[in-house]
Amino acid sequence: MEACFVNLVEPGDQVIVCRNGVFGDRMVQNVTRVGGEAIIVDSPWGRAVEVDKVEQALKANPDAKFLAFVHAETSTGAVSDAKALCKLAQQHDCLSIVDAVTSLGGIELRVDEWGIDAIYSGSQKCLSCVPGLSPLSFSEKAVNIVKNRKSLIQSWFLDQSLVMSYWSGEGKRSYHHTAPVNSLYSLHESLVQLQNEGLENAWARHQSQHETLAKGLEKLGIEFIVPKEERLPQLNAIYIPEGIDDVKVRSYLLNHYNLEIGSGLGDLAGKAWRIGLMGYAARSENVALCLAALEDALKQ
Neighbours of 13 (CB within 10 A): 19
pLDDT at 179: 87
C-beta of residue 106 within 8 angstroms of C-beta of residue 279: yes
Amino acid in position 109: L
pLDDT at 170: 67
pLDDT at 263: 96
Interval 26-54: pLDDT, tens: 999 999 999 999 999 999 999 999 999 99
The CA distance from 148 to 152, in Å, is 10
- Architecture, CATH, for domain 198-299: Alpha-Beta Complex (3.90)
Q: Considering the domain 2-121+134-166 in this protein, what is its CATH number? A: 3.40.640.10
Q: Quick one: average pLDDT of 289-296?
A: 98
Task: Spell out the domain ranges in the chain.
Answer: 2-121+134-166, 198-299
pLDDT at 236: 98
Q: Quick one: average pLDDT of 190-206?
A: 98
Inform me whether the pLDDT recorded for 169 exceeds 80. no
Average pLDDT value for the chain: 96
